[in-house]
Structure 1
Amino acid sequence: MGRQIDFQWQIEDENVQREEFWREATATERPAARSSGELRLMARLGQLLTLLLVMLLATAGAPFSWRLQENRQLAAEINQVLEVEMRALRTDDRDLGSRLMEDRIALVEHRGWLDLWRIRQSQRRQISLEVVEVERLGDLALVTLRIVPPRTYWVSLPYQELRFYRHTDGSWLQTVPPESFWGAPKRLEMGSLIFEYTERDAEAVEGAAAQLEATYARLRQAVGLPTRPAQPLTFTVEPRVVGTWSSRGTQIGVTSPTLYQIPEWVTPTGQLIDTVTDHLINKVLSELLHIDELYYSPEWYILLGGVRSWMRTHILEAPPYWQEEALQELRNRSQILFPLRLTDLDREGRIEPEERQLRFTVAEMAVAYIMDQQGMAHLPVFLRALRTHTSWEELLDDLYGQTVEQFTYGWNVYMVDEYRLLDEGQPAAAIQW
């Protein structure tokens, strides 16, 4: 019993001690009640801190807001200039158009074949120009335009173009960018390709170089050439618009992707890859056929255009951007065009761009038909035969033992069935021969 009483007493004593300890601790930690004056002072301090925070945020956002307003004003001013340019284009008022340029001679040389004035006047009413983005650099304005060209089946998609304007005598005049815009020169050596370019185009070039090196090797292998050429090709990415086929042996000039008219969905890197790939295909075919340029092969000029498109589509799996629209144009005109003849691939006199692209598409189908019958490995044999034959009669008889009529029939049936060129449900046999 004694132990039990003693134990209970000890517990009660400890409980009392704990209560006293926590009472004292709580009393020392509990803050004293604030007076009404102190509360008002704290409220005012809180308001002051909030006001200072708002002012800080407003000050930080002021430059952004100011730049936004400045860019809106700049875009409005450039749009006014574009309205005058469109009026000059539609009325063919070249004097008015010249007054919108700081130096017409320098600008035309700089813009080259991308000049909108080269479009036929009857088609210029279909053109539309719209400012997408502006950037002010001193007295220079960098303006990205969205341009919708005249509606043709082979180049009807909107594209973007970078222009330069200088503020002179209260107005904006289209001009040429200063040398300082491009930055320092750079050079990149791969294995078979060398690139010379400026700092401005560094991202596009360096992003494309490895893929283009692999593309060149793949193309050479496909036509039976050694994978590595005897001499590397040097591509100079120039800060101006150069001719489409500007090449001097192993020295090839291409337009800077900064200046190129690029479809809206294409990046500068993608545009550079597309441009250089065209040159690589031409160089491979020129080397194989022992001619300086494909243009100098009058007998097979259209056919070789089809070969180029076929190589892009079937070897590189990168068809020309206009291919689908050209196929649709063939479908639209199938009742008039079919049956096609090999004489449709002849190059006679001047050919309008739209008609030339259509013939290239038809020629690509002829190459596709041959490769489908003979296999991909037949490509070098077929191409080398173009060096020694000057007519379809000789070529078809020597390579395949066929007459022109036999080949033409099989080719037309193949085109209609493979590319669905006739109306739905209309068989190839419906062609009237």
Structure 2
Amino acid sequence: LLSGASSSFTLAASDKGSYSCKASRGQKTSTVQSNKIQLDVKEIPVPVLHNATQWLDVFPTERVELSCWMKGSSGWIFTWFRNKNLIKANSSVLIENDGTKLSITAASTSHRGNYSCSGALKGRSVNSKLSKEVMLDIYDTKPRVTLVQNPDDSLMHTADSVSFHCHINVSSGWSYLWYKNDSPFKAGHHYNISSAGLADTGSYKCQVKRGASFQSDKSEAAKLTIEERPEAAIILLTRWADVFSTDSLLLKCNVKDSALSWNYTWFKENEQVDLPLSEEHKVTPQDDPDQSRYTCKGTRNERPFYSVTSDSYRTKNLLLKRRILLAISGCIFFGIIAVFIGCIALRIFRKPASDFEKTEDDNLFIRAQVKDFTDSPCPLVEYIKDADLNPSPKEGEENDAISSETTLMPKPSPEDQAVTTNSHESTENGGGMMSFQH
């Protein structure tokens, strides 16, 4: 019950209810009671402070946003506090007009502390209590990122598996950026290579990022080199000369172009042969009557741990094929030797040409010389021809006188007779050797 024409008091939650009034004068006169007014009294709400960013441990230069609001009520203006001290807006701290949001554009260690806010109703003297505090932690330096490679060998071989893990041990909310030879590529927290190839050789780095712009520094580089895996090959040690004296084949496994120490595993029809790890393997008809396909590979306790499996080596009928091939080759070889020896013998023991055949050949040459001699003009004939063609004046008159008489040939000289006689004898002798006399 209150008295007086007006009443002013500070409300409490217990003051809620229905209020009315009436006037009285003296002890007997009073007015009718006024209309009732219902007064509802509520507790002043406490504002809620919320971090708009997902994390409250931040790094230098990172952006931070905090918000303050009243649940189920409107018309409030908010004020911000750090460590119970009023915060005023400046170049690095921005506060919206109604105070609902506080933004730190570039965090530094000076922004470290406990943040809270309070609200006041517009046009009324109603002030809320401070909100619950939110602690903002600012690191002194940017985060350090570590790139972990597993296994950590810098030299690996084709078909090896390797994984990279980008590790950061502080805060949360990170996304990951990856680089190979400084060229970016997409990956998550891990980057796995299940079967390495030569193209995977390179220098790998990673860094972390969160928010719109904050990034860590890049990690140290992890250099990876991929080389071709050594390849195994099967060599047949059984010599050609042994194919007629043995029924077994001796195989050897060798890793090509490798000076490393290897152990060897053998496979028959793709199933491992239960034998000691030897580089040689003996195939006998008793152990392998089906004459199977064999492969092998090298193994080590260090990288490369194993080689590429060799091409399959089939032993079926190999000895028989080599025996047949050697027999055919031997026949051809000895046939060639026989022909060669026969040619030499024929040349040595062939009968020489007869004396008659040689004389006949010589006579042909002499006949050619005689023909050339007989074709040349005789000096006596030349003399007769010149005398007939160029007569003297006296002879001209004598010729006219004896033109009717028979002309007598001059008597041949003894030299001409000798030539004629020898030519005749040569003709009668069938073209034999002749000598010229002068």
Bin the TM-score by the shorter chain: under 0.3
TM-score (norm 1): 0.18
- Bigger RCO (CA 8 Å, 6+ sep): 1
Q: Which has the higher strand share?
A: 2
TM-score by length of structure 2 reads: 0.18
More helix by share: 1
